[in-house]
Structure 1
Amino acid sequence: MLAQARQRYGHHIHWQQGDAAALPFGAHSVDLAFSNLALQWCRDIDAVMAELCRVLRPGGQAHITTLLPGTLEEIAFAWQRPEALLQPPNLASVEWAISESGLTIARQAATVERFYYADLQAVMASIKGVGAQLPRAHANLTRADIAAAKARYEQLRQPEGLPVSYRCLKLQLEKSP
């Protein structure tokens, strides 16, 4: 991702790779932080929020978009294997982590983004494209498994196509001055 960012936006920006739970920045060194669809991949939300609070300057802000439970529910229904999908944190655990960190929520909005696809193959390509599936050992699918998933998914078809839902949480966090 960093290589793509450098290629697209140039080298005049300092790009830094790091772990969200152990940010490679000094205390009170950042005015503004952005996180788009990364928080749901972090195992320790408490540590991530504590790190954001540590690196933000007083009066600094963090703008975060993450996913909530219910994301990709149609796919879980179709495959009857919800454990193979992303298990994002629930709203209460995110809010708790924020309050424990010392940050405050200035704005918060939960939305549902729904996309439609022509068929199961297009749905699965979209999921793979955003990296929202988890590889499973010995995930040998038979033609019967695929046919059954397709039949279940077709029950959800709408005029626009097969739905894929993302439950998004958008946050504006602030560190008190």
Structure 2
Amino acid sequence: MPQPLIDATRDLYAGRIGRETWIRLIEARRAHRLVPKEHEDNEGHRRVMCPAEAGKVQCPIKSRSMGRGVQLPLVDPEPSPAGPLKVYRRRSITLAPPEGSKHWQALEYGGEQWQKVYFRLRNSVERYNGYAKSPLAEAMEAAGGRRIRGIAAQTVLLVFQWLTPTNGRSKTGPRPWR
């Protein structure tokens, strides 16, 4: 995968690219993914194909993938003393359950559905944090209400501060257990 595609999220957080460029780069990663060849078996093993074998990219190691179309990205695998990776030498490989589950995601990273779910969840967490830290609501940042040392003791006192009304304020905010 080209370096700009690898560094897309890092560049977004560093402010070197905008969100639209990030979305475009994340979308371009799709061509470089392993392609499922069949469903996983009863034990969780899954057959996957190299993207060049599936016709998603052109690769000089798989000469039959070259010249399929100028719109396909050209990959340049890094040379290694051990030779090309196993996936480059074969048409497909089998991923064992630990290998497959390690990289499995319910939603494709950066995809449209991922953005809807992730950004909605993040907005709700940030809203909740704002409520908890507000001096007019929970005032969790005000250490004056927790005059004790140590992170464990501070945590216990924060829980009690959260559970009991103080200074006549009502606790009308969101509760994690409801």
Task: Please state which band the TM-score falls in when normalised by the shorter chain.
Answer: under 0.3
Indicate the structure with greater strand content.
1
Q: Which has the higher contact order (CA 8 A, sep 6+)?
A: 1
Q: TM-score of the superposition, structure 1-length normalised?
A: 0.23
Q: TM-score, normalised by structure 2?
A: 0.23
Q: Which has the larger radius of gyration?
A: 2
Structure holding more helix per residue: 2
